[in-house]
Amino acid sequence: MRVLVTGGAGFIGAHLCERLLESGDKVVCLDNFKTGSRDNVKHLRTDKSFEMVKKDLLDPLDFRIDRVFNLACPASPQRYQKDPIGTIKINTIGMIGLLELARRRKARILQASTSEVYGDPLAHPQSEDYWGNVNPIGPRSCYDEGKRIAESLMFAYGAQHRVDIRVARIFNTYGPRMGTDDGRVVSNFIVQALEGNDITVYGDGSQTRSFCYVSDMVEGLCRLMDAENFTGPVNLGNPAEITVLDLARKVKKMTGSASMIRFRPLPTDDPVRRRPDITLAKRKLGWKPKVDLDTGLRKTIDYFRTVLDRG
């Protein structure tokens, strides 16, 4: 297969590129490097089956490909709120451009959607038939509603043009190659703890999240892409739920940090509870996470130690 991975120099994208190359595919990695990093894929540049293309998803696209994984969008609130109009454009104009490419090339396309389509959920855990509770004009709406319209576009192209689509709703994912400044909770806590800074918890820390290690996420994405007669949407995430405060305490203990935990006001529209129902993924994909939180955190902490030691 010749596979296009947009956002391929991002955190999950880089791991996915690596996995596809190991499987014998030829990979075209497209990234504009606004949030992705060349360091994430530099070890792949010597592979003759790997091609790096610096390009924006909003530019005209013409690649000879069999499959498309679309991971091109900032994923942390800090980054997608920095340019809300750009975030909306990626999920609308960019999505249309990719779907047109998939239509022309008769390629299968997978959209990396998000648990944020559920907003601040009133149903718990969240299953795929829940329609969500999203503020359409809040500071997070550029991402939440952007991803929702991207899903709508996927299914419209599937129905109208018979494009072969797949939709994954990704829940919180963590692991090596996360950015030290990407603003996500796991990387924030680890970097703050290792540098001896205050560990910042928003609200009282009672809000919950469920964290999936990146290798498990990549496995789920690949299984969904390979699945026949199944479009999704399907939740991919680890259903093991933990409060943000307990995560902060766990990171502090595992790093041996003397950092203090400090509380800050809860951001607008921050979800109170987040946990995936992965019944559908188990049934349709034979997939469930294998890496427990302690194991994944140890690997991630070791990675950030190395990065910070390099300066």
**Which pLDDT score is estimated for 269?**
86
**Which pLDDT score is estimated for 113?**
98
Whole-angstrom Cα distance, residue 203 to residue 122? Answer: 19
Q: Determine how many CB atoms are found less than 10 A away from the CB of residue 55.
A: 16
Q: Above 80 in pLDDT, residue 311?
A: no
Locus of tokens 């699945």: 227
pLDDT tens-digit series, residues 168-205: 999 999 999 999 988 899 999 999 999 999 999 999 99
Enumerate residues 6+ apart whose C-beta is below 8 A from 163.
99, 102, 103, 109, 154, 157
Which structure tokens are listed for 231? 């479009």
**β-bridge partners, 258:** none
What residue type is 64 in one-letter code?
R
At residue 100's C-alpha, the angle toward residues 98 and 103, to 5°, is 110
Whole-angstrom Cα distance, residue 232 to residue 31? Answer: 25
Q: How far is CA 195 from CA 168, 184, 202, in A?
A: 35, 16, 19
Of these residues, 118, 143, 174, 213, which one is catalytic?
143
Q: Above 90 in pLDDT, residue 94?
A: yes
Average pLDDT over residues 56-77: 94
**Which pLDDT score is estimated for 41?**
97
Q: What is the pTM of this model?
A: 0.96
Task: Assign 3-class secondary structure to the chain.
Answer: CEEEEECCCCHHHHHHHHHHHHCCCEEEEEECCCCCCHHHCHHHCCCCCEEEEECCCCCCCCCCCCEEEECCCCCCHHHHCCCHHHHHHHHHHHHHHHHHHHHHHCCEEEEEEEHHHHECCCCCCECCCCCCECCCCCCCHHHHHHHHHHHHHHHHHHHHHCCCEEEEEECCEECCCCCCCCCCHHHHHHHHHHCCCCEEEECCCCCEEECEEHHHHHHHHHHHHHCCCCCCCEEECCCCEEEHHHHHHHHHHHHCCCCCEEEECCCCCCCCCCCECCHHHHHHHCCCCCCCHHHHHHHHHHHHHHHHHHC
pLDDT tens-digit series, residues 113-153: 999 999 999 999 999 999 999 999 999 999 999 999 999 99
Does the annotation count 174 as an active-site position? no
Whole-angstrom Cα distance, residue 217 to residue 288? Answer: 9
Are 187 and 253 a contacting pair, CB within 8 Å?
Answer: no
At residue 146's C-alpha, the angle toward residues 140 and 151, to 5°, is 135
Domains of the chain are: 2-173+213-236 (3.40.50.720)
Which structure tokens are listed for 206? 């009672």
Whole-angstrom Cα distance, residue 250 to residue 148? Answer: 33
Average pLDDT over residues 58-74: 96
Average pLDDT, the chain: 96
